[in-house]
Amino acid sequence: MKTEYQVEIINKVRRLREANQYSQTQLANHLGLSDGQIGNVESLKYSQKYTLSQIYRICKLFHIAIEHLFIDDDEYSKNIDIVDLLIQKIIQYEE
C-alpha cells in the first residue's frame, strides 16, 4: 500500500496534470508508460507510485521545481536547509 506521504505527492501531481489539462493517457505517453498506468498510480487500490525519474520528468513538463512538489510553502518560510529537507522528503517518499 502507498504511504500517506506518497498519496500526498501523487495527488499534487494529479492536480498539476489536471491544471495543465493533461489526461492520464497524455501523461502516460509523455512518460513512456502504457495506458492505464497513471490511473493505477493515482488509485488508492494499487501500490504503484511514480519513480523519482518520472517525478523529475513531470516537473520539467509542467515547469515546476522539484522542491515545490516535495516541500510545502510553510516549510520554506522556516530558516532551514532546503536541500537537506528535500533529500529527507525524497527519502520519505521512497520508503
Three cell numbers, residue 1: 500500500
- pLDDT at 36 > cutoff 90: yes
CA-nearest of 46, 49, 51 to 66 is 51
- pLDDT at 46 > cutoff 80: yes
pLDDT for position 80: 80
Q: What angle do CA 55, 57, 63 make, to 5 degrees?
A: 100
pLDDT for position 74: 82
pLDDT tens for each residue of 2-23: 999 999 999 999 999 999 999 9
Q: How confident is the model at residue 43 (pLDDT cuts 50, 70, 90)?
A: very high
Q: How many CB atoms lie within 10 A of CB 81?
A: 9
Q: Are 56 and 66 contacting, i.e. CB atoms less than 8 angstroms apart?
A: yes
